[in-house]
Amino acid sequence: MSEHTPEPWRIGDSKEPIWAWRGQILGKHEDGTDFILGSMNQNYEERAIADARRIVACINACRGIETPELENGTLFKPRLARIKADMLAQSDELAAVLRERDEARVIVAELAAVYESLDERVFTVGQRHVIAKAKAIHA
């Protein structure tokens, strides 16, 4: 059995284990009897209803998160550390790809210079097409 009432909580539906109604957070025991989990000042009914809605929304948003994670403020630290590590790895991969691209550009430039010195009449039409592409990339 969970240490707290299971989600989802609802607004205004007494069939659920927890619900909010007229500024009160109400619950239902396993035997079906109701209990008051919390109550707000009825002199501020609109605010009490808004607070009750917010409490229910927060509880449902935290579904699956252990209470100690919420209490000690470390909920997002492991996730942020993983995201940072992933970003650094991707940054390293991108840097390697950019280095390879730069090396390929140097090679293309060298090849274009060699092709410039050759008589294009010795090449086939297909080879001339490839040479023209290399020159265009280098330009």
The model's pLDDT over 116-139, given as tens digits with 9 standing for 90+, comes to: 777 766 778 788 787 778 777 766
Question: Domain limits of the chain?
Answer: 10-72, 77-138
Find the helix or strand (DSSP H, E) in which 96 lies.
helix 77-117
Residue 87 has pLDDT above 90, yes or no: yes
Proportion of the chain above pLDDT 90, given as a percent: 14
Query: Average pLDDT for residues 1-7, to the nearest whole number?
Result: 67
Is 0.95 surpassed by the pTM of this model?
Answer: no
Residue pair 63/8 in contact by the 8 Å Cβ criterion: yes
pLDDT band at 84 (very low <50, low <70, confident <90, very high): very high
The DSSP letter of residue 5 is P
How many beta carbons lie within 10 A of that of residue 79, not counting itself?
9
Of 7 and 21, the one with more pLDDT:
7
- Where residue 54 falls (left for φ over 0; alpha for ψ -120 to 50; beta otherwise) is alpha
Nearest alpha carbon to residue 134 among 107, 112, 102 = 112
Query: Average pLDDT for residues 41-51, to the nearest whole number?
Result: 68
